Amino acid sequence: MIQEKVVSKRFGKVNPLSIDSYIKYDGYKGLEKAVTMHPTQVIDEIEKSKIRGRGGAGFPAHIKARALANAQGPKFIVCNGDEGEPGNFKDRMLMENDPHAVIEGLAILAYATGARKGYIYIRGEYQNAIKIMKATIQAAEEKGFLGENILNKGFDFKLEVRSGAGSYVVGEEFSMIESIEGKPGRSRVKPPFPTDKGIHDRPTLINNVETFVNFPHIILVGGNEFAKVGTPSSTGTKLISLSGNVKNKGLYEVPFGTSIRDVIFQLGKGVRNNRPIKMVQLGGASGPIIPEYMLDMSIDFDRFENFDSKTGTGAIIVIDDRYDIFDILLINMKFFVHQSCGKCAPCREGHIQIVNLLNKFKNHRATEKDLMSLENLANVIQQTSLCGLGQTSMTSIISSLRYFRDDYFTKVRY
């Protein structure tokens, strides 16, 4: 098998509601080791690991950590568990199956950066994860892994669970900060960035659930050892949410460098009824749509950036030849129309017009002028939207225009 389990290694072994069960499987040993090191040494190990954020953008984790450590005064850490991207379920699985690993990763980074307060922001629909994480925080406090004077090292760190109310846009960092402050979940203009001015205008670091869960492993094995897995630009492993028209849907963990085809056919066991693959969407609704001939591409940050995309959150949605590309695009765009916060015009108005244009193509009423309008509008929305929703939602449109242009021409009325 091509799986290599690091962050999912305890799945099915530990009782998520038992801290003793977690400790039995080397739980909190990473934190125990970290507090014997100087805080800068902890960040040095994260830098040596070359780990990049697992939430989509792939930003180097050590840069955020060092920026927060160098900041003065009160500071905050936020774990982004608002997994609203359709096609993704890895963070829910982490919080529900190994919640103490999330807490341990947060505590390690808090020690390294000097943060004394943190939040775990969880999607409102994830009621089971919310319940488990709240119980996990309480258990960790009772055992001395959270709260005051952690592990008798004079290190304080308190955690609190916050939840959204079904909004997609609060997964974006500034919208999440606004929500934590009790305001409507709408983004802010950047810069300044969160590590300069975040929660209550104080320095704030935000990482994805999967990113935090890697930190205990990095500290235990060392950054250089961690970096031996994966590729030079993308170290470690990646959780993959595999769904769509595959035989074995599920969550898998593979080393970076594994091909998309191997994930689909070795782990997913191929397409149901052995139908041909029409297209694959990567990263969820805001990710690119690629044709079958690109499936040998490896899962790697640099490789994905070569075609103006990111490895995303690790979702792979397989779509067979029964489906029309415009059905898929309309599902995506109607989702973004509904989820736009309405703050900026390119996103608020642009998605509505994109849906209108796609309906023309679907119903064979589009003209060449409509094709040009669709392409231009998609680029405008991507380049001028205030937050990540509008900046990434057009990825599926732009990629489909690149790789499935013939499908558009077959719908054009001459």
Return the closest-CA partner of residue 205 out of 111, 94, 320.
111
pLDDT above 90 (res 389): no
> Are 46 and 112 found together in one domain?
yes
> Are 88 and 202 found together in one domain?
yes
> Are 389 and 267 found together in one domain?
no
Express each pLDDT in 51-97 by its tens digit. Answer: 999 987 789 999 999 999 999 999 999 999 999 888 999 999 999 99
Express each pLDDT in 98-123 by its tens digit. Answer: 999 999 999 999 999 999 999 999 99
Looking at residue 1, its pLDDT comes to 59
Say how far residue 84 (Cα) sits from the centre of its chain: 9
Mean pLDDT computed over every residue of the chain: 93
Looking at residue 165, its pLDDT comes to 79
What's the CATH number where 292 sits? 3.10.20.600
Q: Which pair of structure tokens corresponds to residue 284?
A: 């969820």
Q: How many CB atoms lie within 10 A of CB 255?
A: 20
Domain boundary among 288, 320, 352: 320
Under the banding of pLDDT at 50, 70 and 90, the label for residue 310 is low
Domain boundary among 181, 203, 226: 226
What total of structural domains would you count in the chain? 3
pLDDT above 60 (res 308): no
Under the banding of pLDDT at 50, 70 and 90, the label for residue 22 is very high
> Are 382 and 307 found together in one domain?
no
Looking at residue 169, its pLDDT comes to 86
Rounded to whole angstroms, the Cα distance separating 10 from 210 reads: 14
Contacts of 104 (CB under 8 A, 6+ apart): 27, 28, 30, 31, 145, 215, 216
> Are 334 and 287 found together in one domain?
no
Only one residue has tokens 């955690």, namely: 159
> Are 291 and 352 found together in one domain?
no
Mean pLDDT of 267-273: 95
Looking at residue 301, its pLDDT comes to 87
Looking at residue 274, its pLDDT comes to 93
User: Are the CB atoms for 179 and 121 separated by under 8 Å?
Assistant: yes
pLDDT above 90 (res 191): no
DSSP characters for 184-246?
-S----SSSPTTTS-GGGS-EEEEEHHHHHHHHHHHHH-HHHHTTSB-SSSBSEEEEEEEESB
Domain boundary among 226, 247, 263: 226
Tell me, yes or no, whether 118 lies in a domain: yes
Provide the domain limits for residue 386: 325-409
What's the CATH number where 141 sits? 3.40.50.11540
Rounded-to-5 percentages of helix, strand, coil across the chain: 45, 15, 40
Under the banding of pLDDT at 50, 70 and 90, the label for residue 168 is confident
Rounded to whole angstroms, the Cα distance separating 411 from 374 reads: 14
Q: Which pair of structure tokens corresponds to residue 10?
A: 């305890």
Express each pLDDT in 120-145 by its tens digit. Answer: 999 999 999 999 999 999 999 999 99
